[in-house]
Amino acid sequence: MNRRKFLQSTATLGTGLGIALAAPPFIARAASKELLVAEPVHSTGYLPMYIAMANGYFAESDIVVKIVTIESGGGHTNAVLSGQAFAFIGGPEHNAFAKAKGAELRAVVHCVDRGNVYLCAAKGHEPKDRDWPSYFKGKSVAVGPYSGTPNSIMRYLLAKWKLDAKRDVTLIEVPNSAVPAAVRGGQAVIGNSTEPMITQGIRQNIWSEPFFNVPKELGPYAYSTINIRLDSIQKEPEVVRGFVKGMVKGLKFLYANPNEAAEIAKKQFPTMALEDLKATLDRSFSDEMWSKDGMISKEAWATGSAVVREAGILKADIKYEQIIDMSFVESVRASL
């Protein structure tokens, strides 16, 4: 029953029973704005957003954020384009894909500033050296869906190593969260995955420590940003500003309070041991995973653009200013 019908039925009930209902004084307050954010996988990479939710940083701007996990290559983007979600968290290359087709999306605040994937080998299949073309040739690799950022990075690396993604290797494309299961089940001997699955896979003896560290190899990278429709900026700038402010506060809290951040992460990943979560976060801090201030640098987009263009997924040269808007981050930084 919706609120209006509920109130109508309650009023009718009160009249029918002859009950005088005394109304308490009412203080007008703006109703909270509920925003749905689509994520491609439930990941500790998005911890700054989970922190902002848990600590009430969005609520300070009368915003309630809810998340939905959509594990398909472009599903999170489509949820925003169709108006079902306010934002998606993911690579701004999806904004470029949309731009090339005539749609307008903008990245408004940064989250993950490194390519947040690692390559792990099943036990007994670890590389003996860094001759990557020889090591990868003929092997099967479990990776997320086509057009998702982890998949694009894998194709980019293969191209760098002069390997054909169809002829020289077998890409087992599965939902991101299913990569460990694909390696455990023997479908693949290499896993392209992220935290917390990396640490979970190590603890479960699915694979060894990562043999290829993408965050360190590729450097600053616009890997996971908050992306919204351009018309949201035009029609609801204060809502966008409130959301961005919450994200920046979440980023700052993460760096200032790592132990408390781990406790918040535990609520998002309740089945994972706290010591494993701390190991996950230690790896991420060591690899400088998260943005410190919400700004997306031009260098970070240059890397993201190079990955999808050299992987053959994006044909057009989409410029930074066409898909990234840092005006909200710049406007809130002075007040934090």
Tell me the residue ranges of DSSP E strands in the chain.
Answer: 33-39, 63-69, 87-90, 105-114, 118-121, 140-143, 170-173, 190-193, 212-213, 220-229
The residue-averaged pLDDT of 210-230 equals 98
Outline where 146-257 has alpha helix (H): 149-160, 179-184, 197-203, 214-218, 230-235, 237-256
Residue 179: DSSP 8-state:
H
Band of residue 270 on the pLDDT scale cut at 50, 70, 90: very high
- Decide the pairing of beta strands 220-229 and 87-90: antiparallel
Residue 96's CB is within 10 A of a number of other CB atoms, namely: 25
Residue 7 has pLDDT above 90, yes or no: no
The residue-averaged pLDDT of 133-152 equals 96
The CA distance from 299 to 206, in Å, is 35
Q: Using one digit for the tens of pLDDT, what is the confidence trace for 93-124?
A: 999 999 999 999 999 999 999 999 999 999 99
Identify the weakest region by mean pLDDT among 21-30, 34-43, 212-221, 326-335: 21-30
Confidence at residue 26, expressed as pLDDT on a 0 to 100 scale:
46
Q: Using one digit for the tens of pLDDT, what is the confidence trace for 153-172?
A: 999 999 999 999 999 999 99
pTM of the model: 0.85
Confidence at residue 29, expressed as pLDDT on a 0 to 100 scale:
54
Tell me how far apart the terminal alpha carbons of the chain are, to the nearest angstrom.
41
**CATH architecture assignment, domain 118-218:** 3-Layer(aba) Sandwich (3.40)
The residue-averaged pLDDT of 296-323 equals 95
Confidence at residue 30, expressed as pLDDT on a 0 to 100 scale:
59
Q: At 207, which amino acid appears?
A: W
Residue 57's CB is within 10 A of a number of other CB atoms, namely: 24
Ranges of CATH 3.40.190.10 domains, the chain: 33-115+219-333, 118-218
In a 13 Å sphere around the CA of 262, the CA atoms on its Cβ side amount to 16
The CA distance from 170 to 173, in Å, is 9
Confidence at residue 31, expressed as pLDDT on a 0 to 100 scale:
72
Mean pLDDT taken over the chain = 91
The residue-averaged pLDDT of 241-245 equals 98
Residue 229 has pLDDT above 80, yes or no: yes
Confidence at residue 74, expressed as pLDDT on a 0 to 100 scale:
84
Instruction: Catalogue the long-range contacts made by 152-155 (C-beta closer than 8 Å, 24 or more residues apart).
Output: 152/91, 152/93, 152/307, 152/308, 152/311, 152/313, 153/115, 153/117, 153/192, 153/214, 153/218, 153/307, 153/311, 154/117, 154/192, 155/311, 155/312, 155/313
Confidence at residue 11, expressed as pLDDT on a 0 to 100 scale:
37
Residue 9 has pLDDT above 50, yes or no: no
**Residues with Cβ within 8 Å of residue 302, at least 6 apart in sequence:** none
In 3-state terms the chain splits into helix, strand, coil percentages (rounded to 5) of 45, 20, 35
The residue-averaged pLDDT of 38-62 equals 97
CB 69 within 8 A of CB 41: yes
CB 74 within 8 A of CB 295: no
- Could you tell me the fold of the domain covering 33-115+219-333? D-Maltodextrin-Binding Protein; domain 2 (3.40.190)
The CA distance from 319 to 177, in Å, is 32
Confidence at residue 1, expressed as pLDDT on a 0 to 100 scale:
42
The CA distance from 82 to 74, in Å, is 12
| Residue of higher predicted confidence among 275 and 17 | 275
Q: At 232, which amino acid appears?
A: S
